[in-house]
Amino acid sequence: MTRIALALVWLLHWLPLPLLAAVGRGFGRLLFALGRERRRVTLTNLRLCFPQMTEAERLALTRRHFEAFGRSVLERGILWWSGKERIQRLVRIEGIEHWRAVADRPVIWLAPHFVGLDMGGVRLTTEFPLVSMYSRQKNPLVDALLLHSRTRFGNSPMASRQDGLKPVVREMRKGRPFYYLPDMDFGARDAVFVPFFGVPTATVTAMSRLANITGAAVVPCVTRQLPGGAGYVATFHPAWQDFPSGDVEADTRRMNAFIESEIVKMPEQYYWLHKRFKTRPPGEKGVY
């Protein structure tokens, strides 16, 4: 079944982007209709983060999220099999001067989990050596494809999350920026409970600790999916001042607050299908 699905994605990646985007939105609507469990997870996340919304508004936002997610799934075929030139046309880079201003030192590119995350990351590898991390997938074929897409243009090694941060530190000290995706629930280990839209959320503290160890600057890089066939834009933000602060918990709060500020600009594009609040503070009941 996996091979059949991947064959369909391969066939679809030849389509012009406006047509592929339309098919992807349709695929997302199908996932919404059939994916009861992930629909429930998304609605739970939205209830926690946007209690001021009505249930009808949250349901409409969930539909838009599934459409954006469906697009991103099918458009990954471009990352897996298209040439460098098409990917560079597909994803525009803005604000690169913010990175260049601090490129004489180690740099962490903070990349939150929006649906365009892989588009931005692979686009950057077409021009700039970098290092990133990934979680091994249960399906070996999918795992191989994801790793292939993120390393296919060379000189951008990937470290497995299971290997820890030592390989990342080594590459950062060689001058490679670290494309870092820290905003998922990896459990209570190496995490603190800090607010995310007012909800105590297990959040890894590695960015603060890594910046302290390496002297790295933090330059957020957020990728936005554009309407229709307009592609994506990866936007670099100014480097954070006074980071790390010496207070790991305060630094982690700051990271979540920044991600919140980006989510409200495009709430349908954040990765709401993930059980972000699975790990609860001691004594608190689960939300899923």
* pLDDT digits 0-9 by tens, 67-108: 999 999 999 999 999 999 999 999 999 999 999 999 999 999
Q: In the structure, what pLDDT confidence band is assigned to residue 154 with cuts at 50, 70 and 90?
A: confident
Residues 6+ apart with CB under 8 A from 276: 45, 183, 184, 185, 196, 201
Strand positions, DSSP E, 101-240: 107-110, 131-134, 158-160, 178-180, 191-196, 199-204, 217-225, 232-236
Q: Determine the pLDDT at residue 150.
A: 85
Calpha distance 226→30 (Å, rounded): 21
Q: For residue range 225-284, list pLDDT tens digits in order.
A: 999 889 999 999 999 999 999 999 999 999 999 999 999 999 999 999 999 999 999 999
Out of 16-20, 82-86, 150-154, which region has the weakest mean confidence (pLDDT)?
150-154
The DSSP H or E segment spanning 168 is: helix 166-172
Calpha distance 270→263 (Å, rounded): 6
pLDDT at 136 over 80: no
pLDDT at 128 over 90: yes
Pairing of strands 91-94, 158-160: unpaired
Upper half-sphere CA count for residue 45 (Cβ side, 13 Å): 25
Q: Determine the pLDDT at residue 158.
A: 87
Calpha distance 222→262 (Å, rounded): 8
- CB neighbours (10 Å) of residue 3? 8
The answer to whether the beta carbons of residues 92 and 233 sit under 8 Å apart is yes
* Residue 165 tokens, joined: 């941060």
Mean pLDDT throughout 217-226? Answer: 98
Mean pLDDT throughout 36-63? Answer: 98
pLDDT at 134 over 90: no
- Residue 282: cis peptide before it, omega within 30 degrees of 0: no
Q: For residue range 172-193, list pLDDT tens digits in order.
A: 999 999 999 999 999 998 999 9
pLDDT at 144 over 90: no
> Over pLDDT 70: what percentage of the chain?
100
Amino acid 59 reads L
- Residues in a beta bridge with 192: 203
Calpha distance 195→162 (Å, rounded): 26
Chain mean pLDDT for the chain: 95
CA dihedral 207, 108, 116, 278 (to 10 degrees): -10
The answer to whether the beta carbons of residues 147 and 108 sit under 8 Å apart is no
Q: In the structure, what pLDDT confidence band is assigned to residue 205 with cuts at 50, 70 and 90?
A: very high
Q: Determine the pLDDT at residue 178.
A: 97
Tell me the residue length of the chain: 288
pLDDT at 151 over 90: no
- CB neighbours (10 Å) of residue 162? 9
